[in-house]
């Protein structure tokens, strides 16, 4: 399906589910972008879930989002249980505005929901020549180091900077060995997951996606990844007023209330300490790319390069819609 046709369909579905045209458009843009960068686990595979949460009144389709200005640089947003895309869109715009005015912005968001890809928001700041840190917490998936119970989300860590070239540096990584969405897709399509990324509910290694969903995911790099997940939970949840410590509800399985996810956006000008950042970042990347390469490696990539390439090669192609997703779309349009 063509990009603009898909976007129109998603907008129609969200409007049917009581979102305003503007909010439906924000959600559709984010979901189509996820498909274009190849992040299918954060794209259309979640459409039905968002609509179900609206139907069950745990996402508010008509939120009254409040922005509390704490200082010229700092804003606190109460998203009123909006769909995460809308809260994050308002949040990143506020952060860009504050940082452009004062040099640095801190925006905390509470009462939000799942917002998709952190990098999508970092890219918006980077397009305005700003540096960004983007944090969000997520429902329990990772067992804290030493525990047999999931508590931390896959809590992505995201950092973006302009590079003085058309490809931004966007490090956007979950702190689990594998992203939970990929396990969900594997469970749905019956494919095996890699070894050493998850344990079953008894603590035994598994490659069965369903067993992994019932068990625990493993953090990257043992206690180091567990520490990063914990840090993101503190910054996004404890600090902003959002849920934390395992209290974020799973959007697919738990409809007993809103998720109250927290996000934290830190955005700043690149020339706060030096007036030649553009030259310095270019030199930095050049030095690393010139290093001797391992056998079989053609180019040392910086984070974000792959995704940029994927987006640009997909943008004029048809977006493939799987049979399952087609059924979801048909179902949602028929309601």
Ligand X SMILES: NC(=O)c1ccc[n+]([C@@H]2O[C@H](COP(=O)([O-])OP(=O)(O)OC[C@H]3O[C@@H](n4cnc5c(N)ncnc54)[C@H](O)[C@@H]3O)[C@@H](O)[C@H]2O)c1
Q: Which is nearer to ligand X, 60 or 118 (CB)?
A: 118
Q: Give a three-class secondary structure readout of 32-78.
A: HHHHHCCCHHHCHHHHHHHHHHHHCCCCCCCCCCEEEECCCCEEEEE
Instruction: For the CB of residue 9, give the shortest distance to ligand X in the complex, in Å.
Output: 23
Please tell me the distance from the alpha carbon of residue 12 to that of residue 17, in angstroms, as a whole number: 9
CA 297, 172, 221, 282 dihedral sign is: positive
Round the CA-based radius of gyration of the chain to a whole number and report it: 20
Instruction: Say if CB 123 and CB 168 are below 8 A apart.
Output: yes
- Tell me which residue of 244, 262, 231, 327 sits closest to 84, measured CA to CA: 262
Instruction: For the CB of residue 193, give the shortest distance to ligand X in the complex, in Å.
Output: 13
Q: Which is nearer to ligand X, 100 or 305 (CB)?
A: 305
| Cα distances (angstroms) measured from residue 269 to each of 108, 142, 281 | 18, 34, 14
Q: Which is nearer to ligand X, 6 or 134 (CB)?
A: 134
Q: Which is nearer to ligand X, 102 or 207 (CB)?
A: 207
Instruction: For the CB of residue 330, give the shortest distance to ligand X in the complex, in Å.
Output: 26
Instruction: For the CB of residue 33, give the shortest distance to ligand X in the complex, in Å.
Output: 10
Instruction: For the CB of residue 333, give the shortest distance to ligand X in the complex, in Å.
Output: 26
Please tell me the distance from the alpha carbon of residue 88 to that of residue 315, in angstroms, as a whole number: 23
List residues near ligand X by CB under 6 A. 39, 42, 114-119, 136, 138, 153-154, 156, 158, 170-174, 179, 301, 303-304, 306-307
Instruction: For the CB of residue 155, give the shortest distance to ligand X in the complex, in Å.
Output: 7
Instruction: Say if CB 14 and CB 24 are below 8 A apart.
Output: yes
Please tell me the distance from the alpha carbon of residue 173 to that of residue 269, in angstroms, as a whole number: 23
| Number of residues that make up the chain | 335
Q: Which is nearer to ligand X, 38 or 205 (CB)?
A: 38
Q: Which is nearer to ligand X, 244 or 307 (CB)?
A: 307
């Amino acid at each position: 399906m063509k990009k603009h046709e898909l976007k129109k369909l998603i907008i129609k579905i969200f409007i049917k589910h009581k979102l305003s045209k503007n909010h439906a458009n924000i959600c559709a843009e984010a979901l189509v972008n996820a498909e274009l960068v190849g992040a299918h686990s954060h794209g259309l595979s979640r459409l039905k879930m968002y609509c179900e949460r609206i139907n069950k009144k745990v996402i508010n389709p008509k939120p009254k989002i409040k922005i509390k200005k704490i200082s010229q640089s700092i804003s606190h947003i109460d998203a009123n249980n909006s769909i995460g895309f809308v809260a994050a869109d308002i949040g990143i715009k506020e952060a860009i505005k504050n940082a452009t005015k004062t040099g640095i912005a801190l925006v905390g968001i509470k009462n939000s929901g799942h917002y998709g890809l952190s990098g999508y928001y970092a890219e918006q700041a980077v397009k305005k020549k700003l540096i960004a840190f983007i944090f969000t917490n997520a429902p329990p998936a990772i067992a804290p180091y030493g525990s047999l119970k999931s508590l931390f989300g896959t809590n992505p860590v995201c950092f973006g900077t302009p590079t003085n070239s058309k490809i931004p540096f966007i490090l956007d990584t979950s702190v689990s060995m594998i992203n939970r969405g990929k396990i969900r897709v594997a469970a749905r399509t019956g494919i095996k997951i890699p070894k050493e990324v998850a344990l079953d509910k008894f603590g035994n290694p598994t490659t069965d996606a369903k067993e992994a969903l019932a068990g625990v995911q493993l953090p990257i790099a043992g206690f180091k990844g567990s520490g990063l997940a914990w840090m993101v939970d503190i910054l996004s949840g404890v600090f902003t007023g959002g849920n934390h410590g395992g209290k974020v509800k799973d959007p697919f399985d738990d409809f007993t209330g809103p998720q109250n996810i927290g996000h934290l956006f830190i955005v700043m000008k690149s020339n706060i300490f030096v007036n030649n950042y553009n030259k310095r970042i270019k030199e930095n990347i050049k030095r690393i790319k010139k290093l001797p390469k391992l056998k079989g490696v053609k180019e040392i990539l910086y984070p974000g390069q792959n995704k940029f390439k994927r987006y640009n090669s997909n943008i004029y192609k048809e977006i493939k819609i799987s049979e399952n997703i087609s059924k979801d779309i048909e179902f949602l349009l028929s309601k």
